[in-house]
Amino acid sequence: TVMITGDYLKTAQAIAKNISILPADGSIDETGALDCGGLRPTGDYLPLEEIDALTSRVNVFARAKPEDKLEIVKSLQRQGFVSAMTGDGVNDAPALKEADIGVSMGLEGTEVAKGASDMILTDDNFCSIVKAVKKGRVIYSGIEKFVSFIMSVHFAEVLQIFLCVVAGLPIMRSPLQILFLVLVTDLPPAIALGVEPAEDGIMDKKPRPKTQPVVLPWMWRCIIANGMILT
């Protein structure tokens, strides 16, 4: 978690300690918090590599200007992080727009911030973000189960018809029978898998990489194995 604020450094450090972004013992006050003037000591921003080095270790940025927020978001993205930016003011809009997920406040947020964001917290409660992440993980897990089951069943049907054609045997299923299987025997179990409740420890899993496919290699192996058994 990175905190970006327009407050002075000492104020930012005190707030960060209160919400556990920085250790209460002050052990990393010097390295974990930075005045945003350090990003542009001569008026111009530091080289990208130096900015990335700072954002990789600093958790609190104080006296931030709108352009500073934008540079920090871009730096995190260059390092491969999926960045979610929260804000409520007009000056937060550029960073909200640039972030992978822009989150604005529904009660206190400006219309500009809401327009630039992807998600609006209707209750202005940051705990709602955690609930949204959990719900998203549950939905994604349901999609994986749904796709894995459907592809296993359909692979079995295709393989069965293929073997019949190759072996010169009569086709075991007519188009109407296949349609019946899809609508009556395949779809209800797949839907049930897709709406299952959350698994235990789903929030303890590491974030999924953006480039990770829905069907993972081990899932392909299971799909093929299940399909051959069903055939």
For the segment 96-142, what is each residue's pLDDT rounded down to a tens digit?
999 999 999 988 899 999 999 999 999 988 888 888 889 889 988 88
Element spanning 35, H or E: strand 33-35
Confidence band (pLDDT; 50, 70, 90) for 197? confident
Contact by Cβ (8 Å): 77, 83: yes
Q: Number of helices and strands (H, E) in the chain?
A: 10, 6
DSSP reduced 3-state for 103: strand
For the segment 49-71, what is each residue's pLDDT rounded down to a tens digit?
999 999 999 999 999 999 999 99
pLDDT at 39: 92
Contact by Cβ (8 Å): 152, 230: yes
pLDDT at 228: 87
- Rounded CA-CA distance 156/173 in Å is 12
For the segment 140-194, what is each residue's pLDDT rounded down to a tens digit?
888 888 888 888 888 888 888 888 888 888 877 778 887 887 777 777 887 787 7
For the segment 84-96, what is each residue's pLDDT rounded down to a tens digit?
999 988 989 999 9
pLDDT at 35: 92
What are the structure tokens assigned to 144, written together? Answer: 């994986």
Residue 195's identity, in one-letter code, is V
For the segment 184-196, what is each residue's pLDDT rounded down to a tens digit?
777 788 778 777 8
- Rounded CA-CA distance 126/106 in Å is 12
pLDDT at 29: 67
pTM, two decimals, is 0.74
